[in-house]
Amino acid sequence: MSTFDVSTFNIKEFDRILACGLSRGLGSRGQQVCVEAAICQVLNLPHMDDPGCVARSVRSFKITLNDSSWSTAKARAEGLRDLGLAQLGSKGVVEDREFTALLSKKVVQVLIPALFREIFPNNKACLEAALRCEQEGTEEAANSAANSAASWAASAAASAASWANSAARWAALETLVADPVASAARWAAMAAATAATAALSNVDKDKYLKLGASLALGVLKELKSPGCQLL
């Protein structure tokens, strides 16, 4: 059970801080800050990225999403606003393994197919991988998507280092949540998609970052995170 009383959270102050945009990284108090530091500021906590009332897996995902390549600080704030509220009080309520497993499945079934169909409209292997992800939502389907996207990236001379860095970032959840269900392969699939997107200037990155936030919000609602009451 959460010990955090969400009814005491000052949403107006949170929105005031977000009106300045959110920073990539911790930021500077009184200026632009990351979404977790914004929460800490509202709660009158020290300037940091751990408000103490957020489940470890949720916080890890939020930090990774916050530090992704949004088009602007304003777009980052708009994309993370509702998720920032929904995460409140999740510590002690949202179980890390369950959150990670449910979110991983949604990423595979929803985000990867949508992105692959936009950026690989004529690539048979990638379209087949997208369909498999949509139908199965499994680790094996995610592996297929990751391999297909990696093959395309190689043929397009995309940076291997960039792909590896993205994979490491998205796999960070597994390092924090000791659960084999939270397979790095699933997050590698998202990383592959992210890397592919980065290679294409005509793809709206914010669209998919917002989709990732929306999927996480859906999981928090399903798991009854107390902060969802504020939406």
- Token pair, residue 6, equals 């969400």
Predicted local distance difference test score (pLDDT) of residue 195? 52
Please report which residue ranges of 67-204 form alpha helices under DSSP H: 73-86, 96-106, 112-119, 124-136, 139-155, 160-170, 172-176, 184-198
Six-digit token pair at 61?
């995902």
Stretch among 116-120, 132-136, 163-167, 184-188 having the lowest mean pLDDT: 163-167
Average pLDDT over the chain reads 80
Q: Write down the pLDDT at residue 172.
A: 43
Residue 158 has a pLDDT of 43
**How many other CB atoms sit within 10 Å of the CB of residue 28?**
11
Please report, for residues 26, 62, 128, the alpha-carbon distance to residue 47 in angstroms, rounded to integers and kept in the order given.
8, 17, 46
Query: Which of residues 222 and 180 earns the better pLDDT score?
Result: 222
pTM of the predicted model as reported, rounded to 2 decimal places: 0.85
Q: What percent of the chain has pLDDT over 90?
A: 41
What pLDDT is stored for residue 9 in this prediction? 97
DSSP-assigned letter for residue 27: B
Per-residue pLDDT, averaged over 170-180, amounts to 44
Residue whose C-alpha is closest to residue 54's, from 81, 19, 84: 84
Q: Give the pLDDT confidence score for residue 22 in this predicted structure.
A: 98
Segment 174-188 shows an average pLDDT of: 46
Which residues, at least 6 apart from 196, have a Cβ–Cβ distance to it below 8 Å?
115, 119, 120, 149, 152, 153, 158
Q: What is the pLDDT of residues 98-147, one digit of tens each?
A: 888 788 788 778 887 887 888 778 889 889 988 998 998 877 777 777 77
Per-residue pLDDT band for 197 (boundaries 50, 70, 90) equals low
- Do 136 and 220 contact (CB within 8 A), yes or no? no
Nearest Cα neighbor of 67 from 202, 149, 172 is 172
Task: Determine the straight-line distance between the first and last CA of the chain, rounded to whole angstroms.
Answer: 20
Element of type H or E holding 216: helix 205-222
The highest-confidence range among 118-127, 155-164, 199-208, by mean pLDDT, is: 118-127
Whether the pLDDT of residue 194 is over 80: the answer is no
